Chains A and B, each alone.
Chain A
Amino acid sequence: MMKNIYGPVWVIAEQRDCRIRTVSLQLMGQAQKLAAGLNTTAEAVLFGNLMQHHVRPLFAAGANRVFLGSNPRLAFYEPEIYVQAIVRLAQEHEPEIILLGSTAMGRELAPLVAARLQTGLTAHCIDLVFDENNILEQHIPAYGGLLSIICPQKRPQMATIAKGVFPMPEPDPDRSGEIIPVAVPEDVSPRLQTLEVVHQIPDEIPLESAAIVVAGGAGAGDPDGWRQIADLADALNAALGCTRPVVDEGWAPLESMIGQSGRMVSPELYIGVGLSGEQQHMVGITGAKVMVAINNDAKSPVFDQVDYGVVDDCRAFVPVLIKKIKAYQKNQVTC
């Protein structure tokens, strides 16, 4: 058999409590498509503890091979061990492309691996396509449009991608592949180690699965204005999201930021309040049936991207809207 001119397309997969994370499966599906385009294989690298029986979803999502490192030290993300092992594997197998999720782990691991492999890395892509020379065009939103970033000379070509950018591939349970065990040192690095990982269960409505999303922007003006937007979300039983400036102001946590470097949402109804429709935010909303914007600037670009627009100061308008919603709901109950 002739050796393929392109190396494999890799996904650095991620697990939590032995379950492969959604974003890793979504990337595996996309990796399989990219690999088909280059006539090469799609492969995953996965670390964890006692993972042998939990690899199958990666095959069902499109992996031809899975490099599996499994030992007790790998149950949690251990940066120095992970980086060393991935770099060694990449030097041996020379992948053409490496994809990672824009998760806390992926965002730290990706630059550490890229710098050691002396290659480029694109952050939080919203699409990946090949150009006419089979070079990976990595799209990111910027300046009201799209930038296409390429890494023309160095290999691998590396990118991080948020959950929800690519769809969940239709799992094919008949697909199988090869598990290649990887020897990963059990010794923890003397200079850096994970002592504890704590996951908290969020008590708010999760953005990704919400049917209605209310997102607020800098137009909220101050914490009081922000609270009104939160009240609107409450009144509609909607999940509450925000734009970057709201996080910068400290009105809402980073976890609620929608967009390229935050969460991707696909509600049926989206209501953007006091935001200007920056691409970095708007690319985070896909497939919404109805989109609404409330902004005091009639010329705001957000109005080019929605179905219904209200030109008004959100600080004055939102309380009136909430009152109308509550009056309607009260009526419904008494009828």
Chain B
Amino acid sequence: MINIVVCVKAVPDPQQACNIRIDPVTKTLMRCEVPLVLNLLDKNAMEAALELKEQFDAHITALSMGPPDAEGIVRECLALGADQGILLSDRAFAGADAYATAYTLATAIAKIGPVDVVFCGMASSDGSTEWVGPEIATFLDLPVVTMVEEIVECRGQQWKVKASLAHGYRLMQVQLPAVFTVTRELNTPRALVFSGIIKARKKSIVRWGIDDLGVPAEAVGLKGSPTIVSKLSTTESKRAVEILTGTREEKAAQLLQKLLNSGIV
């Protein structure tokens, strides 16, 4: 049986995330209630696992670290077809940077048991660091391929995958167990179905805190993070806008004239 762990993250809904802003006066974050959703690229990671399960005997664990509210996205993974859901939630985990996050997730993966494949989304929409997948691989001493856009060969322990380059690709041969971070080109994530949602209601989500992982408090959360945010600042624009007015036709004609006057068009 192939043991798969999919690392998923609850992120502020990108459609509404623009409401989180730096206060120009206090230079602190003006927080507001933005609902948490499953990170978009993590859906591709889930889909990769589900497609493997359709071909082979596989067991899928959806693993997330986050606040108690993140349970919703773990349940969504169960509804999509994950066999097990684990949420790492503890005050001690709060404020983690990519390094401390990867360390905590890697510790949990080691606790889950022998794992063959770890899938992660290539990046998260809120942090967008791309570091968690490769750093998990480092802590577990596993090989990693980032930005996987195609799984070419996945029979046996020797996989071949294509990893995306800006224009082109790398063809990589990987010995399992291994970590893969995936791009949106890899697949088209399936939609939730009602029967899945009903089934997921019966599955329980395991919650692990710092004591369950047996890690020192200095190694996780803000304390375990090499990087910190030292300052927030706002940027000022140096341009004064001229809003073109009139009917649609007039605005288009004016804009074309402005473009022509610039001498560039």
Q: Is A250 in contact with chain B by the CB < 8 A criterion?
A: yes
Q: Is A111 in contact with chain B by the CB < 8 A criterion?
A: yes
Whether B144 pairs with A112 at a CB distance below 8 angstroms is yes
Whether B244 pairs with A310 at a CB distance below 8 angstroms is yes
Whether B175 pairs with A308 at a CB distance below 8 angstroms is no
**Interface 0/1 of B179-203, CB less than 8 Å to A:** 0000110000000000000000000
Whether B226 pairs with A120 at a CB distance below 8 angstroms is yes
Whether B226 pairs with A194 at a CB distance below 8 angstroms is no
Distance in Å from the Cβ of B128 to the closest Cβ of chain A? Answer: 6
Whether B184 pairs with A247 at a CB distance below 8 angstroms is yes
Whether B172 pairs with A269 at a CB distance below 8 angstroms is no
Q: Is A3 in contact with chain B by the CB < 8 A criterion?
A: no
In the assembled complex, the Cα of A269 lies from the Cα of B233 at a distance in Å of 28
Q: Is B231 in contact with chain A by the CB < 8 A criterion?
A: yes
* Size of the chain B interface, CB-CB below 8 angstroms: 77
Interface bracket on A: 35 or more
- Given the interface contacts A108-B146, A120-B227, A308-B255, does A194 sit within 8 Å of B235 by beta carbon? no
Q: Which of A97-114 contact B (CB under 8 A)?
A: 103-104, 107-108, 110-112, 114
Distance in Å from the Cβ of A78 to the closest Cβ of chain B? Answer: 10
Whether A278 pairs with B18 at a CB distance below 8 angstroms is yes
- Given the interface contacts A145-B235, A308-B241, does A192 sit within 8 Å of B173 by beta carbon? yes
Q: Which of A251-281 contact B (CB under 8 A)?
A: 254-255, 260-261, 268-269, 276, 278-280
Whether A248 pairs with B184 at a CB distance below 8 angstroms is yes
Interface of chain B: mostly helix, strand, loop or mixed:
mixed
- The segment from B61-69, B108-116, B135-143 that touches chain A is B135-143
Q: Is B14 in contact with chain A by the CB < 8 A criterion?
A: yes
Whether A115 pairs with B102 at a CB distance below 8 angstroms is yes
Whether A192 pairs with B29 at a CB distance below 8 angstroms is no
**Can you name 15 A-B residue pairings with CB atoms under 8 Å?**
A111-B131, A115-B99, A119-B99, A121-B98, A121-B131, A123-B129, A154-B226, A191-B174, A191-B178, A200-B167, A247-B184, A306-B241, A309-B244, A312-B251, A316-B248
A114-B99, A145-B233, A149-B228 given; 17 more Cβ-contact pairs under 8 Å: A111-B130, A112-B134, A115-B134, A124-B128, A137-B230, A137-B231, A147-B232, A191-B174, A192-B144, A192-B175, A198-B170, A244-B14, A261-B130, A268-B262, A269-B259, A290-B264, A324-B253
Sort A-B residue pairs by CB-CB distance and give the 3 closest, nearest first.
Answer: A120-B226, A120-B227, A115-B138
B interface list, Cβ under 8 A from A: 14, 18, 20-22, 29, 40, 97-99, 102, 123, 125, 127-131, 133-135, 137-139, 143-147, 160, 163-175, 178, 183-184, 225-235, 237, 239-244, 248-249, 251-253, 255-256, 258-260, 262, 264-265
